[in-house]
Structure 1
Amino acid sequence: MKAQILKAFKHQQLVDMMYMANDGSISKRRVKILKVSGDSFQAYCFLRKEERTFKMDNVLSAFPVIKKERMIV
């Protein structure tokens, strides 16, 4: 997972991720990664609407958000 997080941070992409909290609950979150340090990273969480710190080990899956532009002809 660390490679996907670093790649998204480098390209400033939004990420959809499945995250497991310390209590074992799982949530789907969309985040914008702000800072990566060691085994954690800081990101703006659109679910909680605030900046949060996440542990790399607790990220179950991470996918970059791909925006498709639609053109009306």
Structure 2
Amino acid sequence: MKTQIQKAFSYQQLVDMMYIANDGTISKRRVKILSIRGDSFQAYCFLRHKKRTFKIDNVLSLMPVIVKERQII
């Protein structure tokens, strides 16, 4: 998982993440990774509209956000 997080950080990609909190609740979040430090990373969370710190071990899945623009002819 750490490799995927590092790749998303290096490409400045938005990602959809499934995350399990310390209390066991699971949430889906769209984040932009800002920095990686050891076993955690800091990201801007679009769900909470704040910078948050996440544990890498608590990330269940990570999927890059692909935006396709529609072109009107």
Query: Structure 2 CA distance, aligned partners of 1:4 and 1:65?
Result: 13
Unaligned runs of 5+ in 1: none
* Greater than 6 Å deviation, 4+ residue runs: none
Q: Per-residue displacement from partner, 1:12-63 (whole Å, max 9, x unpaired)?
A: 0001000000000000000010000111000000001100000000000001
**Matching residue's letter, 1:71:** Q
Which residue of the partner structure matches residue 71 of structure 2?
Answer: 71
Which residue of the partner structure matches residue 23 of structure 1?
Answer: 23
Unaligned runs of 5+ in 2: none
Which residue of the partner structure matches residue 11 of structure 1?
Answer: 11
Identity of aligned residues (%): 75
Taking structure 2 as the reference length, the TM-score comes to: 0.98
Which residue of the partner structure matches residue 47 of structure 1?
Answer: 47
2:32 is the alignment partner of 1:35? no
**Superposed CA RMSD:** 0.5
**Matching residue's letter, 1:30:** R
Query: Structure 1 CA distance, aligned partners of 2:2 and 2:64?
Result: 13
Taking structure 1 as the reference length, the TM-score comes to: 0.98
Which residue of the partner structure matches residue 62 of structure 1?
Answer: 62
